[in-house]
Chains A and B, each alone.
Chain A
């Protein structure tokens, strides 16, 4: 079997705004058909990375190619081969759903004979058939996102770059949006999507973790979860502040993360530590509503990695 060329190739890529490095020395590849998630907190450089790959920003250092074309010399060529969706709503508010689609169909030179059929199919795909003539600014947030996606699919690009497509969208629309992405993924489209949500990261086939302008890791979700060197114990208690103090000082405890009233404790041996926690909490008169071991999730792995990065920065 022939080894496929990466569809996106990034090496040593940096972007400077004056003196500030928005992204620094990125190295990663995306294979055809990947659903690649760029994951990281706000300000990590996700948007800058996507804008660089879309040819919207000039490259300060390093190399990048998309669909086999070098972004430094052929960025206009790249543009007709990708679909890019900006983080903020970026369609024409005073145009209707159909007019927006038509505008982009014209700009991307969609063959006139196919245009109506494609628009119909995309509107069906995005569940917007009933809203054809509604002005874009009169759509709900979720519908606006789906319309934006439809607009960047009108020329049937092989590569999609989506910048936080579900930020600010209600949970049901989020799920619907991801179902659409999964369909595209199954149909073979390469998707590079940024997200601050860990549950979304779990739905990707590859993940690049970004933190302060750097890609601290890129791997499959499973490999990232395996970064947690230990087991997770979840402790549910009303008096979580006190409980946190007690468990933090235990031998074998690597890290304690707080999620509301739940403490997620990363330990060397879950069964052994649960018994010890039980005894000590009783001694301190702290009641709890649950103390159990759980599989490591993306979120814990990511926060754990970020803590390590922060410690590195402090040192």
Chain B
């Protein structure tokens, strides 16, 4: 492989990216924009969560309690319900995100210093809102008990700090495993960094459509020089994203970054090499840009949703899909990003995934080089 040829292709391709404002914006900003859209859609700032009350106590105390938990903008009182059937109906039709059931002995138990017991049913399909309601209610309930009973408790000599008066029973319907979003954003990063790979898939078809491929094929350039030379600029702009996307995740979404950034950067470069070489394979096989675009959506972007374990755990997939997800660079990179961001682990844990990514990068490039013919037809 001639370094001069490689550099010539890289420089040319870089000029193409930098001089076409659309390409530049696509490569530099779309991963960020996509991350923002996905992440905000999934972790919006929550307020005015509609909540219904089933009050079986019907005392002044329970009335006061409802007023206390509904104060402010966080929750909106949708109304009172009379039966458990109604609860299910309201949740199923998404009229409310949570229903608080105040049991019959609410005020009696409270004044007997037995604490209070509440049941909260939430809509598990939107765990964000439901979870928020639960958190909010438990906080307000503690305040309520404090205000009402603090003096009394101290008077009888119980250590107030160790007194835990609230017994919340939360039932999430429709999606019992509430996933925290911290876990989602590192996964999303592995998906949005696939964008440069979609663009690199287009470049060969672009040259074919504009006739420049013909002039290139007639030169003594080697196939690997051409293909690798095309990937390098996209690797570089991809790595720009690798720098500011974690920063964004940290600042905007408060996702902790517990690992080593230099390690993360290097592993991200390995991932980029793997996903870009996958893009190059698609580019070699597709003759037109539109076909290359459609296929790269199918092969790079969508699998990011389904096969990489971002949204659906890989262990729950049928075997054949698990096999397929092994060949998706995003699968391994999602594990790496989570590991570095959340668990703060290093190569001692992540090396198998890194090695696999390197193997994928090498194999995809080899496949592309084998099937890319230096002929027109």
Q: Which residues of A contact B (CB under 8 A)?
A: 17, 51, 54-58, 75-76, 79-80, 82, 84-86, 88-95, 99, 102-104, 106-109, 148, 151-152
CA distance A54 to B220 in the complex (A): 11
| Chain B interface residue bracket vs A | 20 to 34
When A106-B4, A106-B7 are in contact, do A92 and B220 touch as well, CB less than 8 Å?
no
CA distance A271 to B12 in the complex (A): 65
When A76-B374, A86-B211 are in contact, do A107 and B8 touch as well, CB less than 8 Å?
yes
- Is the pair A54, B218 in contact by a Cβ cutoff of 8 Å? yes
Chain A CB within 8 A of B316 CB: no
Q: Which residues of B contact A (CB under 8 A)?
A: 2, 4-5, 7-8, 11-12, 15-16, 19-20, 210-212, 214-221, 374-377
List A contacts of B376 (CB < 8 A).
51, 56-57
- Is the pair A76, B220 in contact by a Cβ cutoff of 8 Å? yes
When A92-B212, A93-B210 are in contact, do A107 and B16 touch as well, CB less than 8 Å?
no
List B contacts of A102 (CB < 8 A).
8
Q: Which of B12, B20, B212, B219 is the most central at the interface, judged by chain A CB atoms within 10 Å of its CB?
A: B219
Output the least CB separation between B310 and chain A (Å).
36
List A contacts of B216 (CB < 8 A).
107
| Cβ-defined partner of A90 (8 Å) among B4, B8, B214 | B214
When A76-B374, A88-B211, A106-B8 are in contact, do A94 and B20 touch as well, CB less than 8 Å?
yes
When A94-B19, A106-B4 are in contact, do A56 and B214 touch as well, CB less than 8 Å?
yes
- Is the pair A91, B215 in contact by a Cβ cutoff of 8 Å? yes
Task: Using A88-B214, A106-B5, A106-B8 as known contacts, list a sample of 7 further A-B pairs with CB atoms less than 8 Å apart, ordered by residue number in A.
Answer: A76-B374, A85-B215, A92-B16, A93-B210, A94-B15, A106-B4, A107-B220
When A79-B219, A109-B4 are in contact, do A57 and B214 touch as well, CB less than 8 Å?
no
List A contacts of B20 (CB < 8 A).
94
Task: Show 13 A/B contacts (Cβ-Cβ < 8 Å), sorted by A.
Answer: A56-B218, A57-B375, A76-B220, A76-B374, A84-B215, A93-B210, A94-B15, A99-B12, A102-B8, A107-B216, A107-B219, A148-B215, A151-B215
List A contacts of B12 (CB < 8 A).
92, 95, 99, 103
List A contacts of B218 (CB < 8 A).
54-56, 79, 82, 84, 86
What is the total of A-B residue contacts with beta carbons within 8 Å?
Answer: 78
Chain A residue with the shortest CB-CB distance to B11: A103
Q: Which of A17, A56, A85 is the most central at the interface, judged by chain B CB atoms within 10 Å of its CB?
A: A56
CA distance A57 to B120 in the complex (A): 72
List B contacts of A85 (CB < 8 A).
215
List B contacts of A95 (CB < 8 A).
12, 15
- Is the pair A17, B377 in contact by a Cβ cutoff of 8 Å? yes
CA distance A94 to B15 in the complex (A): 8
List A contacts of B210 (CB < 8 A).
90, 93
List A contacts of B215 (CB < 8 A).
84-86, 90-91, 148, 151-152
CA distance A55 to B7 in the complex (A): 25
- Is the pair B375, A104 in contact by a Cβ cutoff of 8 Å? no
Output the least CB separation between B288 and chain A (Å).
16
CA distance A82 to B5 in the complex (A): 18
Output the least CB separation between A313 and chain B (Å).
27
List B contacts of A92 (CB < 8 A).
12, 15-16, 212
When A56-B376, A79-B219, A99-B15 are in contact, do A109 and B2 touch as well, CB less than 8 Å?
yes
When A94-B16, A94-B20, A109-B2 are in contact, do A104 and B211 touch as well, CB less than 8 Å?
no
CA distance A80 to B20 in the complex (A): 31
Chain B residue with the shortest CB-CB distance to A84: B218
CA distance A232 to B217 in the complex (A): 47
CA distance A152 to B220 in the complex (A): 12
CA distance A51 to B210 in the complex (A): 17
Output the least CB separation between A280 and chain B (Å).
54
CA distance A67 to B238 in the complex (A): 44
Chain A residue with the shortest CB-CB distance to B20: A94
Chain A residue with the shortest CB-CB distance to B23: A94
List B contacts of A109 (CB < 8 A).
2, 4-5, 220
List B contacts of A108 (CB < 8 A).
219-220
Output the least CB separation between A87 and chain B (Å).
9
- Is the pair A55, B212 in contact by a Cβ cutoff of 8 Å? no
List B contacts of A148 (CB < 8 A).
215
| Cβ-defined partner of A57 (8 Å) among B5, B19, B377 | B377
| Cβ-defined partner of B221 (8 Å) among A86, A89, A107 | A107
CA distance A95 to B8 in the complex (A): 12
List A contacts of B15 (CB < 8 A).
92, 94-95, 99
- Is the pair B220, A86 in contact by a Cβ cutoff of 8 Å? no
CA distance A57 to B214 in the complex (A): 11
List B contacts of A152 (CB < 8 A).
215
Q: Which 10 A-B pairs have the closest CB atoms?
A: A106-B8, A90-B215, A80-B220, A90-B211, A84-B218, A88-B211, A86-B214, A94-B19, A107-B219, A56-B376
- Is the pair B211, A89 in contact by a Cβ cutoff of 8 Å? yes
CA distance A126 to B266 in the complex (A): 48
Output the least CB separation between B120 and chain A (Å).
60
CA distance A18 to B334 in the complex (A): 46
CA distance A70 to B62 in the complex (A): 96
List A contacts of B2 (CB < 8 A).
109
Q: Which of B2, B214, B217, B376 is the most central at the interface, judged by chain A CB atoms within 10 Å of its CB?
A: B214
- Is the pair A104, B16 in contact by a Cβ cutoff of 8 Å? no
- Is the pair B220, A55 in contact by a Cβ cutoff of 8 Å? no
Output the least CB separation between B312 and chain A (Å).
42
Output the least CB separation between B373 and chain A (Å).
9
Chain A residue with the shortest CB-CB distance to B376: A56
List B contacts of A99 (CB < 8 A).
12, 15
CA distance A103 to B211 in the complex (A): 16
Q: Which of B16, B20, B221 is the most central at the interface, judged by chain A CB atoms within 10 Å of its CB?
A: B221
CA distance A152 to B374 in the complex (A): 18
CA distance A109 to B20 in the complex (A): 28
- Is the pair B19, A103 in contact by a Cβ cutoff of 8 Å? no
List B contacts of A91 (CB < 8 A).
212, 215
- Is the pair A107, B5 in contact by a Cβ cutoff of 8 Å? yes
CA distance A148 to B16 in the complex (A): 19
- Is the pair B375, A56 in contact by a Cβ cutoff of 8 Å? yes
